[in-house]
Structure 1
Amino acid sequence: MIFQGIDFHNVDSLVRQSQGYAMQRVPDSVRLQLNENARDEVRFNSTGVELRFKIKSEKAVLSLKAEPGSEAMTAFIYYGSFQGGWQNSSKAIGVQETRISIPRPGDPEILQKLTGDCGLPFNPEVIRVVLPYGRCLFLGIEGDVEPPEQGDLPDKTYLAYGSSITHGSLALAAPCTYPFRIAQKLGCDYLNLGYAGSAYLEKEMAEYIVSRKDWDFASVEMGINMLYGNFTADQFEERVRSFVEVFSREERPVFATSIFGFNGSREFQEKAALFRKIVKKYAGEKLIFTDGLELLDNPAWISEDLIHPAVDGILQIADRWSDVMKKYGV
């Protein structure tokens, strides 16, 4: 959506609050049909949100504010496909108003030439402020800015749905999430519909994703939230069956995976093995299926919480899954 000369990428609507605008990724018609955590707690997480604009003046000053969280809230700045230089690479977002000054690129001709020579997907005139996974508020922008045009952006878009692993927890930086990395590797744009602790495979979410016309291929990560969410095997199977059935009618490529490797207790490992079989049963023939253990199987690359991949694990998922996707010509 476009607001104040900015393309709020991966945002469906801005919700006015007392201190600024919260960013919501799906419309209320979908949100209100999801589980309580997805509906109420994760609704304003800025997972995969980018503020994109072109600067017509010498600089732009962006005002943001973060809600308190357990991890650092950092915005990462890109000039098209190029990470910002050391003065403009990342900025901490505080719980008070944070003003981020972003200058126009210093050598635009060189960046334009490199973009063409290297076949990079983004026009380097497009500023991309990549927000963290927590809750951020947009307060405003100063300077002469305009949203990018279609020709400034990649031709294709990848959409990812899944748990906190898709969402970006423990990636440490938003550009290290596997959807961001896969998009980089495949030279495309991305949309992140990760829902931390609440990817419960609602049929309504599948129908919403399929109804969107702004993606060319998608991935769905299924299982870990429902494993720890006390779903029985029968309940999980019914959710997977109806979720996959919606995607099976989709002509665009949909890549599916089951639970990635993790270091949880024996009880959860046994249940995870059953859940993986269920996902394979339904997604194995109807979608482009890769078992989660084929994407991440190294116990040393799981974080101290025994569930989430550490950065090395996330990068392995991105490497292996993007290789699978390349075989299907996306």
Structure 2
Amino acid sequence: MIYDRMEFYNVEAIVKEEKGCKMSRLPRDVAQRLDYGIREGTSFLTTGVELRFRMIGDEVKLHLRVSLEEEAQMVLIYFGAIQGGWQYASKTLGTTETVISIKYPENLEILETISEREKLSFHPRMVRVLLPYGTCFYLGKEGDTEPPLVSDSPQKRYLAYGSSITHGSMALLPPHTYPSRIAESFGMDCINQGYAGSAFMEKPMAEYIAARKDWTLATVEMGINMLNKPLSDEDYEKRIKEFLGVLAKDGRTVFVTDIFTHNGEKQERTAIFRDIVRRHAHGGGLIYTPGEYLLSNPAYVSADLTHPTVKGMEQIARRWSEVMRAYGTGIWQESEQQVRRHGTFHKCGLQETEITER
């Protein structure tokens, strides 16, 4: 959405509160139909949210603040697809008003040349301020901006739905999440629809995803948030069947997975939930890949026994990207530069890939 002459990317609603403007990744009418946790909590977490703009003057100052979180809350600054230099690479946000100063780099013309030559997905004159995992409030800005041009960012988008793993917990920084890595590898923009602790595969969420016409392909990660819910296996199966049925009817390509490898309890129920997803992930454009394959190394799970580490995120992104390439005819067209950077077209089977990528 466009607000204050900037694009608030992956924001569907702005709610003004005493602390500032809170950003929602869901339209509020959709959020009202979902569980309380996502409605009042995780839909306002800003992983995958970016402030995008072109600068008209010499400098722009953004006024932001965050809620108190256990994890460090930082913004990352990019010029198009290129990470900012040491002056602008990252800035720490506090619970009181924090001012972030941004200027174009003096070597912007060189960045433009590199971006054009390498066919990078974002134009370097578009400033991208990547917001952190927690709840971030926008308080205003100083300096003149204008919304980015349509041509400044990819026109093909990848939507990722899932739990805090999709959302990016333990990825440490937004670009390290598996959705960000997958989107980058295919030159797409990323729509992060991960909801920590509240990915309950509710039918209104499936209907919302299907109603969005701005994505080319999607992934859905299903099950981890339901392990501790007082829901029978039969009711879980009914929910999965209904959720996937909505997406299958849409017809666009949706890559489906179940519960990634984890080191926690409820392994028996995990196996039951995985089997339920496997049995219903078919029809339409649904393509199933086991979560145990996408993340197979238990050492790539953090000390909380659930969330993948940065290496785990890398493994998920790399393996799922290979699956996508194998099925991807007509979904995307990679440039020579992207193929050179991310590998050749893979038609290997899952078993072969698993041997080479442990």
The two structures have a TM-score, normalised by structure 1, of 0.97
Alignment of 1:7-26 (within 5 A): 7-26=7-26
Please, which runs of 5 or more residues in structure 1 have no aligned partner? none
Please say if residues 248 and 282 of structure 2, whose CA atoms lie closer than 8 Å, have aligned partners that are also in contact.
Answer: no
Which of 269, 272, 277 does residue 275 from structure 2 map onto?
A: 277
Alignment of 1:14-163 (within 5 A): 14-163=14-163
Query: Which segment is superposed worse, 63-72 or 40-49?
Result: 40-49
User: How far apart are residue 210 of structure 1 and its match?
Assistant: 0.6
CA deviations on 1:113-167 (whole Å, 9 max, x unpaired) are 1111111110000111001110000001111111101111112100000000001
Please say if residues 171 and 309 of structure 2, whose CA atoms lie closer than 8 Å, have aligned partners that are also in contact.
Answer: yes
Distance in 2 between residues matched to 1:156 and 1:43, nearest whole Å: 23
Q: Which amino acid aligns with 1:211?
A: A
**Structure-2 residue corresponding to 1:216:** 216
Distance in 1 between residues matched to 2:120 and 2:43, nearest whole Å: 32
User: How far apart are residue 275 of structure 1 and its match?
Assistant: 0.5
Please say if residues 64 and 136 of structure 1, whose CA atoms lie closer than 8 Å, have aligned partners that are also in contact.
Answer: yes
Please say if residues 76 and 90 of structure 2, whose CA atoms lie closer than 8 Å, have aligned partners that are also in contact.
Answer: yes
Distance in 2 between residues matched to 1:100 and 1:169, nearest whole Å: 24
User: How far apart are residue 284 of structure 1 and its match?
Assistant: 4.0
Alignment of 1:167-316 (within 5 A): 167-265=167-265, 268-286=266-284, 287-316=286-315
Residue aligned with 2:106, SS: coil
Q: Which runs of 4+ in 1 moved over 3 A?
A: none
Residue aligned with 2:241, SS: helix
User: How far apart are residue 200 of structure 1 and its match?
Assistant: 0.3
CA deviations on 1:195-227 (whole Å, 9 max, x unpaired) are 100000001000001101111111100000011
Please say if residues 105 and 125 of structure 1, whose CA atoms lie closer than 8 Å, have aligned partners that are also in contact.
Answer: no
Q: Which amino acid aligns with 2:261?
A: G
Please, which runs of 5 or more residues in structure 2 have no aligned partner? 333-358
Count residues in correspondence. Answer: 328
User: How far apart are residue 326 of structure 1 and its match?
Assistant: 1.9
Distance in 1 between residues matched to 2:41 and 2:212, nearest whole Å: 24
Please say if residues 77 and 128 of structure 1, whose CA atoms lie closer than 8 Å, have aligned partners that are also in contact.
Answer: yes
**Structure-1 residue corresponding to 2:324:** 325
User: How far apart are residue 5 of structure 1 and its match?
Assistant: 1.1
CA deviations on 1:68-93 (whole Å, 9 max, x unpaired) are 01111011111000011111100001
Please say if residues 263 and 301 of structure 2, whose CA atoms lie closer than 8 Å, have aligned partners that are also in contact.
Answer: yes
Distance in 2 between residues matched to 1:178 and 1:213, nearest whole Å: 22
Distance in 2 between residues matched to 1:94 and 1:41, nearest whole Å: 19
Residue aligned with 1:43, SS: helix
Q: CA RMSD in A?
A: 1.0
Q: Which amino acid aligns with 1:319?
A: R
Distance in 2 between residues matched to 1:176 and 1:229, nearest whole Å: 29
Please say if residues 75 and 90 of structure 1, whose CA atoms lie closer than 8 Å, have aligned partners that are also in contact.
Answer: yes
Please say if residues 296 and 317 of structure 1, whose CA atoms lie closer than 8 Å, have aligned partners that are also in contact.
Answer: yes
Please say if residues 6 and 53 of structure 2, whose CA atoms lie closer than 8 Å, have aligned partners that are also in contact.
Answer: yes
Are residue 165 (structure 1) and residue 165 (structure 2) matched? Answer: yes
